[in-house]
Amino acid sequence: MLEQLEGRKAPPPGRSVGAEMPAGSAFLEGATVTVAGAALLQRVAGVVTKLGGNVLSSQLDVQGTHAKAGFVSMVASCELDQPSLQPLIYDLEAGMPFLFIDQLDVQAPTTSSGEGKLRILLAVSGQWQGAK
């Protein structure tokens, strides 16, 4: 399937690549693992801010246990409104490049009225093919 998404192989007969398939590469792009990591950070931060949230902190992990298998991982601490949580998860997992949510910790607002933003700890990983 990844080969089809990368454009190396035509889809099977009777199946066409249409609007239901997101555009872009299935892999994190970058000449180095650091550049691929920066692309991952930018993708996650872009989705959070697009949904009206804030990224409080982020950390890239390019040498963890996943790194040996070609994965780049990151952890971000964010604030986001409750109705935006599901679109955040969907956008990250359904878009390109293929990203995987490894951890999701959500803390409800601390106000007595229940209003305010959720505090989210989000661990995301994606695969990097290496320099081409």
What is the percentage of the chain residues whose pLDDT exceeds 70?
Answer: 76
98-103: long-range contacts (C-beta < 8 A, 24 or more apart)?
98/2, 98/26, 98/27, 98/126, 98/127, 99/40, 99/43, 99/44, 99/124, 99/125, 99/126, 100/124, 100/125, 100/126, 102/73, 103/75
Residue extents of the structural domains in the chain: 27-127
The one-letter amino acid at 92: L
Mean pLDDT over the full length of the chain: 83
Is 39 a residue whose pLDDT tops 80?
A: yes
At 13 the pLDDT is 56
At residue 40, the pLDDT reads: 93
> What is the helix (H) or strand (E) element at residue 124, kind and residue range?
strand 118-127
Q: Which fold has domain 27-127?
A: Alpha-Beta Plaits (3.30.70)
Tokens of residue 5, six digits = 């998404």
Q: Give how far Cα 106 sits from Cα of 16, 81, 127, Å.
A: 38, 11, 25
pTM score above 0.85: no
**What angle is formed at CA 88 by the lines to CA 85 and CA 93, rounded to 5 degrees?**
130
Tens of pLDDT, residue by residue over 40-95, are: 999 999 999 999 999 999 999 877 666 667 889 999 999 999 999 999 999 999 98
Phi, psi of 88 (to 5 degrees): -65, -50
- Summarize the confidence of residues 29-35 as an average pLDDT: 88
Distance of alpha carbon 82 from alpha carbon 114, whole angstroms: 10
Residue 103 in contact with residue 117, Cβ under 8 Å? no
**For residue 85, which phi and psi values (nearest 5 degrees)?**
-65, -50
